Amino acid sequence: MEWLLHIPLFLLTALSLVIQTQENQEAWRKFIDIEQDHAFFPQTLQFSIKQYNKNSNDKYFYKMTQLIRAQEQLSKGFEYLIDVELSRSICTKDIEFDPVNCRLQEDPELYKVINCTFFVFTVPWNGQYELRSSNCTDA
């Protein structure tokens, strides 16, 4: 979150003002494709996957194996539509997830890949992230 400190305060303030002014206008509500490293996207993506794991009944953590599509639209905050491919890792949820050591399952019985669409509402400058909907194939 330290990078947030490097965004000049007046920019954030200006942005909030724009958003407040536009709050009731539909013109801003249009999803457009964004890059993987776009402004608030990386932490939104991380949040979504973490939340997915928290909510799922699976004994193992899933990790992202492919980012299929990322879209953003401006509303009262930023809204994201994210399509990702997730794969079951070897790490069970009773331990801390470690991206390096949590390799993918190799046992064909346990190997599993799913695709998910996440809809996330965020107000990044307030630290607010909400996974509003999540649907995955064969989950």
Ligand X SMILES: *[C@@H]1O[C@H](CO)[C@@H](O)[C@H](O)[C@H]1NC(C)=O
Taking CB under 6 A as the rule, does residue 135 contact ligand X? yes
Nearer to ligand X, 16 or 117 (CB): 117
Nearer to ligand X, 96 or 107 (CB): 107
Give the per-residue contact string, 78-117, with ligand X (x = CB under 6 A; - = no): -------x---------------------------xxxxx
Nearer to ligand X, 43 or 134 (CB): 134
Is residue 139 within 8 A of residue 116, CB to CB? The reply is yes
Q: Is the dihedral of CA 56, 137, 86, 130 positive or negative?
A: negative
Q: Report in angstroms the alpha-carbon separations of 125 from 24, 65, 111.
A: 20, 28, 38
Cα(139)–Cα(137) distance, rounded to whole angstroms?
6
Q: Is the dihedral of CA 109, 137, 89, 64 positive or negative?
A: positive
Taking CB under 6 A as the rule, does residue 137 contact ligand X? yes
Residues that bind ligand X (CB under 6 A): 68, 85, 113-117, 135-137
